[in-house]
Chain A
Amino acid sequence: MTSVLDSLNTGLQQALAEDERVVLLGEDILDPYGGAFKVTRGLSSAFPGRVLTTPISEAGIVGLAAGMAMRGLRPVVEIMFGDFITLTADQVINHATKFRWMYNDQVRVPMVIRTPMGGRRGYGPTHSQSLEKLFLGVPGLRVLAPTHFGDPGALLKEAILKSDDPLLFVENKLLYLHPIQQDGSMLDFDLSEIKISSSHSPAYRLRLKGAPPPNLTIAAYGHMAELTRQAAQRLAYEHEIFAEIIVPTQLAPFAIEPILESVRHTRRLLSAEEGTFTLGWGAELLALISATLGSNLLAAGRVAAHDLPVPASGPLEDSVLPNAEEIVQAGIKLIRKS
């Protein structure tokens, strides 16, 4: 079975093979180590001179990538832990994403920054965060978050070869070892891809096989999509609440339509994210949906991490990060109050 890790590795390998403008940069990405999470393993051997190991200089290498991109290459930067993305903020916000627009559309900056986010491995406060929300809404920045639903490697390859703008590709540490799920590969769920546009990556819809029409929509991305799948199973079998799950792979710019379409029918929306609660993705999602549906929206809620650092100790970490049980409880609450 193909894991998310294998799929991403294949995506990188194919991008390097198909376009000689593709160059990878990152810390410790050379063989035999192949990157802290092994996403780049084998690539430096297969493409010598195009996979560059770098000093510990996150801002420096993201800046380099922006310069390379403006001069016609298609650089891909690995930031070893998503937590370190803050070091690149000036490069992303004041440089890479500014150039195309402030230079009056006279340049292109096709670059991808890949980084793993997420906790549940006991890495503690500075190696477990989901910081992507800080980068949502940066004009000119596309943010993708693949899951094990669909084809994350193909998504990465397309981001590298087709996107003309800076793109943040948010991977999740726990998903790396999950097997890829495509339609027909899951016992209990039907999986369908919702195409959005050529410049906006797709969303996925999961429905429990043979279930009655859903009366709850749960929107989740990254590893929370997997926890949501588990929660939806329990909601159905234990509480007879039937949820439809929408999993976007693009978080910014964000097309609300697939979620909106689902909520038009279910009239209830729950969002689930691993980042901190306040001013997160779910807040934007609920605002957009309620502004569009008005009183047709019966109930809405959010599941997210506590507004706290992520602790290292297992039991403490479990209590800070959202889990499937919280999604189940939040789902029950939404149904009861509407």
Chain B
Amino acid sequence: MLKDLYRNLYRIRRFEETVLDNFPKGVFYGTTHTYLGQEADAVGVLQHIQNGDIVFSNHRCHGHFLAYGGDPHALFAELMGRKSGVCGGRGGSQHLQWHNFYSNGVQGGILPVATGMALAEKQKASGAVVVTFLGDGTLGEGVVYEALNLASLWHLPILYVLENNRMAQTTPIDQAVAGDICTRFSAFGIPAHELDSSDVLEILPIAAELLSEIRTQVSPRALILHTYRFGPHSKGDDTRDPAEIGYFRKYRDPVKILAARLQTDECQSIESEVNAEIYQAFQQASNDPFPEKLGAWHTAIPRSSQELANGQPIFSSE
């Protein structure tokens, strides 16, 4: 159990370090938002999901995807724009879909969609629950509160996991979020639990309890996890005091916290296995082919008008 948890935490850590190390080499497209430092949130919460449960993540989705069981090779390939990527290179870092895992890169609007999924599962009486992740910065988006209101009104089976990493891109929380986070949820009648910890063993039981309540009572819950990201918002955009980052790296590192509970050789053996797994996934993705061509838009989108405008009539009536 502990070893599995350690493997899951360390897999995210190693994946994200590999992403940041290799970004300057130009192997990835676009940008990325790494999950370094927050690994215990995804691993602790998603340890309890069952078959059929749904996860809806955001721009900082790599950790959630890997904790859900996603394949590091497919994720590297997606970041590299390869055909073998999670979404064939169309989505990139922020837009993943695999089994019941979804992510999108526009803040706020994710919540109503995830909440609608919970409504669908309730209508279908499938018993599935939805887990959706948001950050402290997303609390600035008004549509969040529309979603919370609807989830509570209609008793929807959804867990809102708010990861407060105290920083929205470069704006600290005290310049962006007024008032209290928990009461934002409880004001809508959604029970909210708060935890200031990077210890996966502390997150696990509370997440288990909330998910179990959601399943039995069919109503929403919120989990506020105060955390810290070790890396920049994306790549080079870090304006924080290095001493502050150093402090959290020293005292709030989820990987170190769990490692302290394992034998050194146990950790080392897991780390070397994961290092090899991630290295191999990266190498494999690097050698994968790019998508051959854009591919036709799906059938609902005729291209005829554009073709016509290029002087290519394709329709003749009798």
Query: Measuring CB to CB, which residues of chain A are less than 8 angstroms from any residue of chain B?
Result: 23, 52, 54-55, 57, 59-73, 75, 90-91, 94-95, 98-107, 139-140, 142, 163-165, 194, 197, 199-200, 253-258, 260-261, 287-288, 291-292
With both beta carbons as reference points, the residue of chain A lying nearest to B94 in the complex is identified as A102
Query: In whole angstroms, how far apart are the Cα atoms of A140 and B90 in the complex?
Result: 14
Contact, CB under 8 Å: B119 / A103: no
- 19 sample A-B contacts, Cβ–Cβ < 8 Å, listed by A number: A55-B146, A57-B146, A60-B143, A63-B109, A63-B112, A67-B114, A67-B120, A91-B143, A100-B298, A101-B90, A103-B95, A165-B300, A254-B305, A255-B305, A256-B305, A258-B317, A260-B315, A261-B315, A261-B316
Contact, CB under 8 Å: B115 / A63: yes
Contact, CB under 8 Å: B300 / A60: no
Hey, which chain A residues are within 8 Å of B112, CB to CB?
Answer: 59-64, 66-67, 91
Q: How many A-B residue pairs have CB under 8 A?
A: 174
With both beta carbons as reference points, the residue of chain A lying nearest to B95 in the complex is identified as A102
Contact, CB under 8 Å: B113 / A57: no
> Chain A nearest CB: distance from B61 CB in Å?
13
Given A57-B149, A104-B97, CB of A23 within 8 Å of CB of B300: no
Contact, CB under 8 Å: B109 / A61: no
Q: Is B308 an interface residue (CB 8 A)?
A: yes
Query: In whole angstroms, how far apart are the Cα atoms of A63 and B147 in the complex?
Result: 9
> Chain A nearest CB: distance from B253 CB in Å?
33
Query: In whole angstroms, how far apart are the Cα atoms of A57 and B90 in the complex?
Result: 31
Hey, which chain A residues are within 8 Å of B309, CB to CB?
Answer: 287-288, 291-292
User: Counting chain A CB atoms within 10 Å of each CB, which of B114, B299, B305 scores highest?
Assistant: B305
Residues of chain B in range 93-123 having any CB-CB distance to chain A below 8 Å = 95-98, 102, 104, 106, 108-121, 123
Choice from A60, A66, A140 contacting B301 with Cβ under 8 Å: A140
> Chain A nearest CB: distance from B314 CB in Å?
8
Hey, which chain B residues are within 8 Å of A199, CB to CB?
Answer: 299-300, 302
Query: Measuring CB to CB, which residues of chain B are less than 8 angstroms from any residue of chain A?
Result: 54, 87-88, 90-91, 95-98, 102, 104, 106, 108-121, 123-124, 142-143, 146-147, 149-150, 153-154, 297-305, 308-311, 313, 315-317
Choice from A67, A139, A254, A256 contacting B297 with Cβ under 8 Å: A139
With both beta carbons as reference points, the residue of chain B lying nearest to A71 in the complex is identified as B120
With both beta carbons as reference points, the residue of chain A lying nearest to B121 in the complex is identified as A71
Hey, which chain A residues are within 8 Å of B153, CB to CB?
Answer: 55
Known: A63-B143, A103-B95, A261-B315. 11 other contacts (CB 8 A): A59-B112, A60-B143, A60-B147, A60-B149, A63-B147, A64-B150, A72-B120, A90-B143, A95-B106, A258-B317, A287-B309
With both beta carbons as reference points, the residue of chain A lying nearest to B98 in the complex is identified as A106
> Chain B nearest CB: distance from A163 CB in Å?
7
With both beta carbons as reference points, the residue of chain B lying nearest to A163 in the complex is identified as B300
> Chain B nearest CB: distance from A289 CB in Å?
9
Hey, which chain B residues are within 8 Å of A261, CB to CB?
Answer: 315-317
> Chain B nearest CB: distance from A100 CB in Å?
7
Given A68-B119, A255-B302, CB of A95 within 8 Å of CB of B90: no
Contact, CB under 8 Å: A90 / B106: yes
> Chain A nearest CB: distance from B47 CB in Å?
23
Query: In whole angstroms, how far apart are the Cα atoms of A192 and B117 in the complex?
Result: 42
> Chain A nearest CB: distance from B302 CB in Å?
5
Contact, CB under 8 Å: B115 / A67: yes
> Chain B nearest CB: distance from A49 CB in Å?
8
> Chain A nearest CB: distance from B151 CB in Å?
9
Hey, which chain B residues are within 8 Å of A95, CB to CB?
Answer: 104, 106, 109-110, 113
> Chain B nearest CB: distance from A198 CB in Å?
9
Contact, CB under 8 Å: A67 / B300: no
Hey, which chain A residues are within 8 Å of B109, CB to CB?
Answer: 59, 63, 90-91, 94-95
> Chain A nearest CB: distance from B203 CB in Å?
26
Contact, CB under 8 Å: A101 / B115: no
Hey, which chain B residues are within 8 Å of A200, CB to CB?
Answer: 302
Query: In whole angstroms, how far apart are the Cα atoms of A200 and B305 in the complex?
Result: 12
> Chain A nearest CB: distance from B202 CB in Å?
31
Contact, CB under 8 Å: A288 / B146: no
With both beta carbons as reference points, the residue of chain B lying nearest to A294 in the complex is identified as B311
Hey, which chain A residues are within 8 Å of B149, CB to CB?
Answer: 55, 57, 60
Query: In whole angstroms, how far apart are the Cα atoms of A69 and B119 in the complex?
Result: 10
Give 8 closest A-B pairs by Cβ, nearest first. Answer: A63-B112, A67-B116, A60-B146, A64-B116, A71-B120, A103-B97, A57-B146, A257-B315
Query: In whole angstroms, how far apart are the Cα atoms of A55 and B317 in the complex?
Result: 48
Contact, CB under 8 Å: B305 / A66: no
Query: In whole angstroms, how far apart are the Cα atoms of A164 and B300 in the complex?
Result: 8
With both beta carbons as reference points, the residue of chain B lying nearest to A111 in the complex is identified as B116
Given A60-B112, A61-B150, A257-B317, CB of A70 within 8 Å of CB of B102: yes
> Chain B nearest CB: distance from A26 CB in Å?
13
With both beta carbons as reference points, the residue of chain B lying nearest to A167 in the complex is identified as B300
Given A199-B302, A288-B308, CB of A73 within 8 Å of CB of B313: no
Contact, CB under 8 Å: A64 / B115: yes
> Chain A nearest CB: distance from B124 CB in Å?
7
Query: In whole angstroms, how far apart are the Cα atoms of A190 and B142 in the complex?
Result: 51
Contact, CB under 8 Å: B91 / A63: no
Hey, which chain A residues are within 8 Å of B305, CB to CB?
Answer: 253-256, 288
